[in-house]
């Protein structure tokens, strides 16, 4: 008998719910978590300004009506500490701590076909066996620091936003560089600018950002959400992004310029990225439609930033709005009006090296006390790449994914029996409200595990042709949109040498859920069960 029925890797939103769901299904389950606390992305990304860009009423579990009732969010867009408090509340409320092992980094997982089990080894040398392995490592957990010569010689302090020190960092009066202007850089820079002596923001690619308009959630608003939560959640599950949105249902090009401008302004005033992109049906489909919203945002940047030359540099031009994650901030662009903030063009003047006292670009040297890397992640496959996962016949996941990560329905990949990936490549994952997509995957996995056990089978794995057909479908859907037009982490373009494949499924969470349900209704179509260890 194996030590456990299921090993779950990670204890963020996905791992926590996997523990709850699998344990409730009567399985012996443990989540192994590298961090010293639960929370995953919300544990590691504790940098100042870290805040969710999905509304709290959406970015929360829906599996328990009692949980929904007894938790009240304080803000429309929750800040990192509140999300972490929520996850602690969930672990306490459902008694999950006994099934979670912290400070436990999984280093390898090896499938044994003879025994029909996984052997999971952790950094402390301990080994556990389990029939099923569930990856809940997250899409954005392997942080990426660019390989800049001389970084080791830097005499000041340096940080990565996704490995922020728990004790915090004091930038008061300091000379600070922020490198990177994606969602993380856009959130952290204004916080640093507020206290720093001087802040240089190194921008390689300008990024679109829209306002948050964050606000406290009043008791009345909280009660109103709770009064119709069940119907609201049902709507979310059928939606495109996992959040009910009210768009116009029209093409951006079929309305007048004045009507469009009015609609964009309304969304700008209301705040939030998803409502913006859902406004017209073709904003993410045709460049001409997208250009209308791009120009609207560029106009707001020009209106906000007083130095016209700086404003122009902050105007993104290289990619369609939304093809990189639309950032949200109420103060990022205005920050450039502060006398202690300088924008550095790291495209025309790339960073070349770091020395003891600062950072050198192609044409200047910046004396610094601290460097903050907001340079993102080896996304989607990076965290699994850092674990030696070996499937049947000695096949390593790294080699199976050498040409880019892939999985049937984003859930399982051929050659890796009884191995499930929560929000894996080929699922809506990062193109949706992650919590909703996590719940759907965890419930699907729980039911699949119960099915395998109920059938008396040794294992389940996808058939290669089914996986290939799904991957081809995800590509077709992606390439009918504007998403692949950006050099983004969605395609792996941010990691030098990484194979570039657009892996998330952008066809919408509603259609995706229907497909997953249909596969089950058709007797796990595209999957094969093995009996008595025979493939």
Binding residues (CB under 6 A) for ligand N01: these are: 51-53, 140, 146, 161, 179-185, 187, 202, 204-205, 325, 346, 351, 374-377, 430, 489, 494
Nearest approach in angstroms of CB 156 to ligand N01 is 18
The nearer residue to ligand N01, 243 or 519, going by C-beta atoms, is: 243
The nearer residue to ligand N01, 32 or 52, going by C-beta atoms, is: 52
Q: Which residues pair with 419 in a beta bridge?
A: 133
CA distances from 467 to 25, 372, 472, 479, 530 (A): 27, 40, 9, 18, 17
Whole-number Å distance between alpha carbons of 259 and 245: 19
| Number of neighbouring beta carbons within 10 Å of residue 44 | 24
Q: Which residue is nearest to ligand N01 (CB)?
A: 182
Q: Which residues pair with 527 in a beta bridge?
A: 462
Of 373, 378, 376, give the one whose Cα is nearest residue 159.
Answer: 373
Whole-number Å distance between alpha carbons of 62 and 84: 17
The nearer residue to ligand N01, 120 or 192, going by C-beta atoms, is: 192
Nearest approach in angstroms of CB 130 to ligand N01 is 30
Nearest approach in angstroms of CB 94 to ligand N01 is 25
Q: Per the structure block, which two tokens stand in for 283?
A: 């904003």
Nearest approach in angstroms of CB 197 to ligand N01 is 22
| Number of neighbouring beta carbons within 10 Å of residue 148 | 19
Of 377, 372, 375, give the one whose Cα is nearest residue 359.
Answer: 372
The nearer residue to ligand N01, 360 or 515, going by C-beta atoms, is: 360
The nearer residue to ligand N01, 7 or 495, going by C-beta atoms, is: 495
The nearer residue to ligand N01, 180 or 405, going by C-beta atoms, is: 180
The nearer residue to ligand N01, 508 or 526, going by C-beta atoms, is: 508
The nearer residue to ligand N01, 104 or 423, going by C-beta atoms, is: 423
Nearest approach in angstroms of CB 199 to ligand N01 is 15
The nearer residue to ligand N01, 103 or 348, going by C-beta atoms, is: 348
Of 20, 141, 39, give the one whose Cα is nearest residue 82.
Answer: 39
Nearest approach in angstroms of CB 336 to ligand N01 is 15
Provide the Cα torsion 408, 524, 512, 489; round to 10°: -20
The nearer residue to ligand N01, 187 or 239, going by C-beta atoms, is: 187
Do the beta carbons of residue 4 and residue 130 sit within 8 Å? yes
Q: At what angle do helices 509-521 and 434-454 cross, to 10 degrees?
A: 0
Nearest approach in angstroms of CB 396 to ligand N01 is 26
Nearest approach in angstroms of CB 37 to ligand N01 is 19
Nearest approach in angstroms of CB 379 to ligand N01 is 7
Of 165, 154, 162, give the one whose Cα is nearest residue 183.
Answer: 162
| Number of neighbouring beta carbons within 10 Å of residue 70 | 10
Whole-number Å distance between alpha carbons of 380 and 504: 9
Nearest approach in angstroms of CB 374 to ligand N01 is 5
What Rg, from alpha-carbon coordinates, does the chain have? Answer: 23
How many CA atoms within 13 Å lie on the side-chain side of 313?
A: 18
């Amino acid at each position: 008998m194996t030590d456990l029925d299921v090993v779950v890797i990670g204890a963020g939103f996905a791992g926590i719910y996997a523990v709850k769901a699998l344990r409730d299904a009567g399985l012996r389950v443990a989540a192994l978590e590298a961090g010293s606390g639960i929370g995953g992305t919300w544990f590691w990304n504790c940098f100042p300004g870290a805040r969710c860009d999905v509304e709290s009423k959406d970015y929360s579990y829906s599996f328990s009506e009692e949980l929904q009732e007894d938790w009240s969010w304080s803000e429309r867009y929750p800040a990192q500490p509140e999300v972490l408090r929520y996850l602690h509340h969930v672990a306490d409320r459902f008694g999950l701590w006994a099934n979670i092992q912290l400070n436990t980094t999984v280093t390898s997982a090896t499938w044994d076909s003879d025994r029909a089990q996984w052997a999971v080894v952790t950094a402390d040398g301990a080994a556990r066996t389990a029939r099923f392995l569930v990856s809940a490592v997250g899409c954005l957990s392997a942080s990426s620091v660019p390989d800049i010569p001389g970084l080791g010689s830097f005499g000041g302090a340096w940080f990565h936003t996704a490995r922020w020190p728990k004790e915090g960092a004091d930038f008061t009066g300091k000379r600070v560089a922020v490198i990177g202007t994606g969602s993380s850089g856009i959130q952290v820079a204004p916080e640093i600018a507020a206290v720093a002596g001087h802040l240089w923001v190194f921008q390689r690619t300008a990024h679109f950002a829209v306002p948050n308009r964050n606000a406290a959630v009043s008791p009345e608003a909280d009660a109103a959400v709770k009064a119709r939560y069940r119907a609201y959640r049902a709507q979310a599950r059928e939606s495109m992004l996992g959040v009910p949105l009210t768009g116009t249902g029209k093409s951006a090009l079929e309305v007048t310029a004045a009507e469009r401008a009015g609609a964009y302004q309304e969304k700008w005033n209301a705040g939030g990225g998803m409502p913006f992109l859902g406004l017209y049906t073709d904003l993410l489909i045709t460049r001409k439609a997208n250009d209308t919203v791009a120009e609207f945002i560029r106009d707001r940047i020009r209106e906000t930033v007083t130095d016209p030359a700086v404003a122009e540099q902050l105007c993104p031009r290289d990619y369609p709005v939304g093809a990189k994650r639309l950032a949200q901030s109420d103060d990022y662009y205005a920050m450039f009006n502060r006398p202690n903030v300088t924008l550095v063009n790291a495209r025309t003047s790339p960073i070349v090296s770091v020395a003891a006292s600062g950072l050198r670009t192609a044409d200047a040297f910046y004396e610094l006390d601290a460097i903050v890397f907001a340079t993102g992640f080896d996304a989607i496959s990076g965290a699994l790449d850092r674990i030696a996962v070996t499937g049947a016949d000695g096949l390593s996941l790294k080699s199976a994914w050498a040409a880019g990560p892939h999985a049937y329905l984003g859930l399982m990949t051929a050659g890796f029996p009884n191995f499930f990936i929560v929000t894996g490549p080929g699922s809506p994952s990062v193109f949706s409200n992650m919590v909703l997509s996590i719940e759907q995957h965890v419930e699907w996995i729980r039911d699949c595990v119960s099915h395998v056990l109920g059938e008396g089978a040794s294992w389940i794995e996808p058939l290669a042709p089914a996986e290939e057909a799904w991957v081809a479908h995800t590509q077709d859907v992606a390439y009918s949109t504007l998403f692949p037009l950006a050099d983004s982490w969605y395609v792996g373009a941010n990691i030098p040498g990484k194979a570039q494949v657009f892996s998330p499924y952008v066809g919408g969470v509603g259609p995706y859920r229907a497909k997953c349900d249909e596969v089950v209704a058709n007797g796990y179509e595209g999957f094969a069960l093995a009996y008595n260890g025979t493939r």
